Chains A and B, each alone.
Chain A
């Protein structure tokens, strides 16, 4: 299903700078059109100087084709097009997603019209069959393989071009969609008890409609679960009363991913770190932990896997080292986290990691995972600190299991 992000509106058209008017005649020429104009001009010069009829014909033919191309643009009939994604979320390296392109022709027939669908930095070009006036055609396309990230798909661009292909105007139609390409992840074993310090179910002051510690009775309101109706009290009171509970504190896992580029000697180490962090976060979500995943300014706090993978799509490296500030911001948001996992590269100093971990207090367990594709897997356990060095994603499960023993 598609989720339209923002329509292409008339405001976009108005946003074009007025200076582009000056270069508009040149811009509507295709590369072939520009070449033919250059050859035609060259031929015209030779024809004028030397009166060579062959070049006169070539020059006039070039001019004629150019005029034909310009006149072609006056033909009415702009088609409307819409792109629909089969899936909005894919995993990097998995089968390419497909999309549906729905085109409705305009008033004029179109001879094998060319339609372009932008996908991030890529383009999917396709030629549609001959379309009669106001004919409709739906085409399924396979999107190109794109790296991890959030990629803009659309709007559909129709290139109105003359039969020779010298002049082309582009008409954008349809909406802009987002394709989430999440990082590769690996399935980790269940976090063992004892790794976190708050799984025993300590209560909070926040009332909840479904928990363990009873708090009070209140009047029934439509929507309340009938299982929580306290029938005996309701009978006494003559109205429906439901039980209210104290919310039990759930296990919290905080995963901090170092966004600083200098922390990673190699670019692929950062991608490995994103996969590691996402894998840990997904495991925590599946274990029903409240999970906080953060990299730079992008973070997600949820118990849903989709939230973790979606935010992981947006993680990008940063030239400025603001790891400490982001860790502090996370610590202010999360209170009483049981486990802090810091995922970073080989170049990050342990002292800085320790300083970041201090923000969460001494009660939390501290796990450092370094993504280092050039060195062997290592594990170091020094009391409160467990430090892993992961050379590839496949080794993560084994190393993490050893770290939890």
Chain B
């Protein structure tokens, strides 16, 4: 009965754990058909294990039968190709074997949520099949507590990198998995005990173990909150580096002679621009699109898309239709906002959805082998709030998002890098300087080398550059001034939705603390002085004087975007965080606890000394005998060799291996008809003290030292006193009962 109950519990735990582990895919697939594909082998294998154990078959038979079932079952529940009479065809079974290898790669190369079709469902099927095959057999075939846990842990490790960056119920699921695995192991270990007689307290012990693990897991969730999802390492899928590198050159669509119209778009909301590409990595030659966008929290790779794409941020949904024209020659697919779905259903061109690689972080898409000039598509996207104020917290740039310290722009940015300003205010100060002092020359100049942006642009008294160079300089400067920034290329939609080369533009996006990227409009930083061909540039103000003047204005409260408190400089928001981390709190608590314990231990010898003095100074004639012998017993208890209090003194002396004389003397004195001589009592006490010291000296150094600090005898005495107080009759040792009737021991 006990075995059957244990087997049932094991089967339930394996099934629940597999369902929990597979639920990591809840945000990966568009619906929950993945659970059917993953749990079908779980159920079947559990039944097979039960049958195998019922007939006492070995693991080889079970493994062989399971492997034979692998392909047919996969074809039915994952590929959903049952064939005639639910017997899958050889072709379908071959596909199961072949696509099992490529399915994980395809899954992680697709932007979630992916469609629950085809080979992608093989991933939960594979995990469910192999993890259950090992775990179920180890759970029912062995009694080792942790053996079935190992395949489940490995399944968890295999599932996590295939899922999304932040699955729903991440923390709750982690706690649940940890609780179940550890508690299950503890219960299995208890079950393994070959106990004689009834298994007492098995339920209570199991409950205690579960409660202990749960309480500790709750504490753990508070101690190690998952503050940084971005560092979670997932499988990256196919390498798109060549694709992205090739697409870098067409971030700004090249002009074609006589073909000025790029595309026609409808449905673009007012104030929104079409996005072509995002340049988020500055190399030595300039801004380029990164294969994995820095600061993207793990979402910055180009992946396949299914019918649906999960937007990273909320916003209003818009539907946009785009028809490319012959002037558009680029790898980048013009988009607006964060894509949620795209439709090439009536596309006369050659591009299909499977050719699209979408980057959720940059909200840009590129097409393998480039777009076709006849492409026509519609898409749904989410457009968020692009506005911001100086009060909005910004995100500090990572090392990949900014130039190294001391690089070429730092010398020119020093006037703007004011500690008393917020990072966003420094950026606005730089933008204002460029706007008021810069000269813009419209053209095709896109060079962004350090020399172009530094010495020839910001480092000269006459700031001259193209709008794109201003964007490149502004993004680079913003990153160095403390706000992560990137360059975006796109186009303003003209009248009737037509976009030509003149509408192509670029702008800077700043990253805020919530991870959103919001535009810094070019009107804020592109030079206001337009240079005609051959015209002279106006001379710029000295940057230091400009900044000083701006700050003075701000201090007077005349600046709406840059604020300085009157009188004293304000802090720059980089003050140290005074709040303690959970670890510090725990360490502090543990340190306090340890200090308290140490203090209590140090007090133990003092209390024992006081107890000894009290015992010796009693006025009772029998107390020196009773208390003296009790000192001997306490010493034995404190050194780790206690003897039962209920034994006679002679039996206690025999157990301690000491002479019986003292015990008999104590008995003789306690049971004597009249009080003994006082000197004899004191001599007895002194002898007991000598014996007490000898007992302590007998043990090794560790036990000897511990005997001084061990509170066991104090606790035992406290328990004795408490039991005496609780009982109506005064509880004494049997042999002392008569003596105590004559005179209480405490007297």
Residues of A within 8 A of B (CB): 7, 9-10, 13-14, 30-32, 35-36, 39, 42-43, 46, 49-58, 60-62, 64-65, 68, 74, 76-78, 80, 82, 104, 106-108, 111-112, 114, 124-130, 133-134, 136, 139, 141-142, 162-165
Contact = CB atoms under 8 A, between A and B. Distances in A.
Interface string B616-659: 00000000000000000000000111111110000000010100
B197 interface: yes
B178 A112 contact: no
A58 B186 contact: no
Interface stretch (B198-206, B424-432, B518-526, B531-539): B198-206
Interface in B476-497: none
B195 A60 contact: no
A369 to B, nearest CB: 40
Contact of A80 (B150, B185, B642): B642
A158 B4 CA distance: 29
Residue of B177, B196, B639, B699 ringed by the most chain A CB atoms within 10 A:
B196
B585 to A, nearest CB: 15
Interface of B: 145-146, 149-150, 153, 156-157, 160-161, 170-171, 173-175, 177-178, 181-183, 185-186, 189-190, 193-197, 199-201, 204-205, 208-209, 212-213, 216-217, 219-221, 223-224, 226, 228, 231-233, 597, 639-646, 655, 657, 698-700, 703, 710-712, 715-716, 718-720, 723
A233 B199 CA distance: 75
A25 to B, nearest CB: 15
Contact of B146 (A13, A36, A53): A36
A57 B212 CA distance: 15
15 contacts: A31-B145, A32-B145, A42-B153, A43-B153, A53-B226, A57-B217, A61-B178, A107-B715, A111-B201, A127-B195, A133-B719, A136-B646, A163-B209, A164-B183, A165-B209
Contacts of B231: 51
A73 B657 CA distance: 28
B370 to A, nearest CB: 36
A78 B643 CA distance: 11
A107 B716 contact: yes
B193 A53 contact: no
Contacts of B156: 54-55
Given A107-B716, A126-B197, A141-B196, A57 B175 contact: yes
B216 A65 contact: yes
A68 B208 CA distance: 13
B691 to A, nearest CB: 14
Nearest to B654: A7
Contacts of B170: 53-54
Contact of A130 (B185, B201, B228, B716): B201
Given A32-B185, A43-B153, A61-B217, A126 B226 contact: no
Contact residues of A: prevailing secondary structure: mixed
B316 to A, nearest CB: 32
Contacts of B153: 39, 42-43, 58
Contacts of A104: 644, 646
A115 to B, nearest CB: 10
A57 B219 CA distance: 10
Contacts of B219: 64
A30 B177 CA distance: 22
A142 B196 CA distance: 8
Contacts of A60: 220, 223-224
B212 A106 contact: no
B195 A35 contact: no
B213 A65 contact: yes
B178 A36 contact: no
Contact of B712 (A31, A36, A64, A77): A77
A164 B233 contact: no
Nearest to B171: A53
Contacts of A82: 644
Contact of A163 (B149, B196, B208, B233): B208
* Ranked 4 nearest A-B pairs via Cβ: A112-B201, A107-B715, A35-B146, A54-B174
Contact of A68 (B212, B657, B700, B715): B212
Contacts of A74: 597
B47 to A, nearest CB: 28
B185 A36 contact: yes
Contacts of B183: 164
Interface centre among B232, B597, B640, B641 (most CB of A within 10 A): B641
A39 B641 CA distance: 37
A20 to B, nearest CB: 12
A46 B157 contact: yes
A259 to B, nearest CB: 34
Contacts of A61: 178, 182, 213, 216-217, 220
A164 B201 contact: no
Contact of B193 (A52, A77, A114): A114
Nearest to B150: A39
Contact of A32 (B186, B200, B208, B718): B186
Contact of A112 (B205, B655, B720): B205
Given A10-B641, A78-B642, A164 B213 contact: yes
Nearest to A162: B212
Given A112-B201, A134-B716, A163-B212, 5 more contacts: A53-B174, A54-B170, A106-B642, A106-B716, A164-B213
Contact of B189 (A112, A125, A165): A165
Contact of A126 (B161, B196, B213): B196
A156 to B, nearest CB: 13
Contacts of B719: 107, 133-134
B209 A78 contact: no
Contacts of B197: 126, 139, 141
Contacts of A107: 712, 715-716, 718-719
A78 B219 CA distance: 30
B220 A7 contact: no
A54 B173 contact: yes
A112 B712 CA distance: 21
